[in-house]
Amino acid sequence: MDDEQVLVAQAKQDRERFALLYDRYVERIYAYACREMHDIALAQDVTSATFEQALRHLGGYQWQGTSFGAWLYQIARNEMRMQYRRQKWTVPLWSWLVGGRDLEQTFQEQSDLTAVQRAMNQLKGRDQEILRLHYFEQLSHDEIGQVLGCSSRNVAVRLHRALERLRHKVAAASPEVRYDILI
């Protein structure tokens, strides 16, 4: 049994031990919510609701071979969907700021990122989501599979196809974009 499994088992017996899991994941879940929601107050609400739901349903949590964090991302994802339904609004995928480099390099990188952002916005929501979970949240295929409710093999296939669609859209719209920006 690894450290995290022990913490989960302890938290099931003593709710005060849940604080250790909270401390381990709160910043990651909050950052994920901020990137997705683009609103600090909503991200705080989602983060709070995520941990409230996790604590409420901790007794029913079953270890599935991936991190406890994958389960938290799944809860956060559901909370964000509920927020979107309540608000009935959409947000842009992300905005990146680049700084601290020479002006020409910063301009080129910003142009490349803008082209990628435009192309990403043209992808279907499920392609955007899998790319964000892998590249921004840095979740493993197993963890993404748990979040999305599919196998890690399916995640690998979907991720590969989504990245190919992104590359194709970027190349069609902006052939001068460097491909190293697309990982």
Residue 135's pLDDT is what?
84
Contact 145, 151 (CB under 8 A): yes
> Cβ–Cβ contacts within 10 Å for residue 60, how many?
7
Which of the residue ranges 61-65, 90-94, 127-131 has the most confident prediction, judged by mean pLDDT?
Answer: 127-131
Residues 26-35: tens digit of each pLDDT: 999 999 998 8
* Rounded average pLDDT over 103-132: 76
Domain boundaries, the chain: 3-87, 103-182
C-alpha to C-alpha distance for 181 and 95, rounded to whole angstroms: 15
CA–CA separation, 21 vs 9, rounded Å? 11
The CA-CA-CA angle for residues 32, 37, 43, to 5°, reads: 65
Residue 56 has pLDDT above 50, yes or no: yes
Q: What is the CA radius of gyration of the chain?
A: 18
Inter-CA distances, 94 with 1, 37, 75, 129, 170, Å: 38, 9, 21, 12, 16
- Give, in words, the CATH class of 3-87: mainly alpha
- This model's pTM is above 0.75: no
103-182 under CATH 1.10.10.10, yes or no:
yes
pLDDT confidence of residue 102: 53
